């Protein structure tokens, strides 16, 4: 079953660290089977929404998303981020 990796950037503390993270994270997650579905700032906000950068990546399964997160390549990306952002990150199973 498809799974979705959702990251919401609550606060960016260091743009350079976020850029270094992005340079490493994109290839690492794509190598793990991830496909970027959406990323960027919202075009419209409703209810109690916040104008925060959001990233949505599809994987073939929760297990594939976990494996991508735990991969050495993605761990290198996290090391580059090094506190440069406050994020809410989760993996959510898709519905069938």
Q: Taking residues 9-31, what's their average pLDDT?
A: 97
What is the model's pLDDT at position 85?
97
Mean pLDDT of the chain: 96
Distance CA 86, CA 33 (A): 25
Tell me the pLDDT band of 94, cut-offs 50, 70 and 90.
very high
Asked if the model's pLDDT at residue 11 lies above 90, the reply is: yes
| Among the four given CATH numbers 3.30.70.360, 3.30.565.10, 3.30.70.100, 3.40.50.1820, the one describing domain 3-93 | 3.30.70.100
What is the model's pLDDT at position 96?
76
Interstrand relation of 3-12 and 35-40 (parallel, antiparallel or unpaired): unpaired
Contact 57, 4 (CB under 8 A): yes
End-to-end CA, the chain? 7
**23-55 per-position pLDDT tens digit:** 999 999 999 999 999 999 999 999 988 899 999
């Amino acid at each position: 079953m498809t799974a979705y990796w959702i990251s919401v950037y609550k606060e960016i503390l260091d743009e350079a660290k976020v850029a270094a993270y992005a340079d490493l994270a994109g290839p690492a997650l794509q190598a793990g089977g991830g496909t970027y579905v959406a990323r960027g700032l919202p075009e419209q906000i409703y209810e109690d929404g916040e104008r925060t950068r959001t990233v949505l990546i599809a994987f073939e399964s929760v297990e594939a998303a976990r494996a991508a997160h735990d991969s050495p390549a993605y761990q290198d990306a996290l090391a580059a981020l090094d506190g440069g952002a406050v994020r809410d990150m989760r993996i959510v199973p898709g519905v069938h």
